[in-house]
Amino acid sequence: MKIRKAVVTCAGRAQRPLPLQGFVDRDGAGKSALQIIVEEVVAAGVEEACVVVAPGDGPAYAKAAGPHAGRLTFVEQASPDGYGQAIRLAAGFLKDEPFLHLVGDHLYLSRTAKRCAQQLVEVAAAERCAVSAVQATREHMLPFYGTIGGRRAGADDGARLYEVETVVEKPTPTEAEQRLIVPGLRAGHYLCFFGMHVLTPAVMDLLAELTGAPGGGPVPLSAALAKLPGRERYLAAELAGRRQDLGVKYGSLTAQLALALDGADREDVLAQLLELVADRAQRSAT
């Protein structure tokens, strides 16, 4: 399964400014979050990407993408009709191909030489099916993420794999305890979405069906993914890496620290942090 295309969603009302934020990347260069995300996509072997933006945001995003702007196609989401509809807007760009999908308000730090997106694409190619990246996440973070329930399915080049049986968008702790326990995880932890998926054309079909269903309203991606196991094989993979969610409290600060501590300036950053902690401790003592 060759993954040539990617879709990055950036049109959410709270999400829009986050990909434009500036960071110092691991190589010491200043970049926008969007440029770091696009570099993640390119490292996975993807040739071109569609970025779903709010009306009028295209020029700012093209500038923020830096040297990779020529790889991008911009599609506007004219009304706030949800995450699922944002992905559907890329249908003309995708032309029934499987694709890599990333959200625009997460950064990803790998623990290996392979970036997280490359790890995920390689798993999907080997397993020939849709694969969602997941991360073991504490119970108090459940209101922020879609969460899967399933069972272990072995490993693939270091990634722990799971057969997905159910998906719930932002479950309550009670719902998670009843439906989403995965054997082998630490108590109080659940497998929540990483913000990165390799998806098949079947997902686009399911989104179309759900959008046309009685009742209307925005359709989350999780609703389509919940139905996917009934249609085709669907896996989740714990990658060798962690997500940094820019949208949570102190998310951008934590992401910058993570980039710095994983980069060329690690020793200098650690020294500055120790100075801050020591100064704080001295002031508290007096």
Query: What is the number of structural domains in the chain?
Result: 1
DSSP secondary structure code for residue 7 in this structure: E
Phi first, then psi: give them for residue 138, nearest 5 degrees.
-65, 150
Domain with 164, as residue range(s), is 5-285
pLDDT beyond 90 at 157: no
pLDDT beyond 90 at 236: yes
- Model confidence over 87-128: pLDDT tens digits? 999 999 999 999 999 999 999 999 999 999 999 999 999 999
Q: Rounded CA gap, 121 and 130, in Å?
A: 10
Residue 20's domain is classified under what CATH number? 3.90.550.10
Q: Rounded CA gap, 144 and 130, in Å?
A: 22
Dihedral sign from CA coordinates of 120, 116, 13, 167: positive
pLDDT beyond 70 at 222: yes
DSSP secondary structure code for residue 36 in this structure: H
Residue pair 8/94 in contact by the 8 Å Cβ criterion: no
> pTM value?
0.92
21-35, 72-86, 121-135, 209-223 — which is least confidently predicted?
Answer: 209-223
Q: Rounded CA gap, 259 and 107, in Å?
A: 9
- The tokens describing 284, both together, are 């508290």
- Say how many C-beta atoms besides its own lie within 10 A of residue 64's C-beta: 22
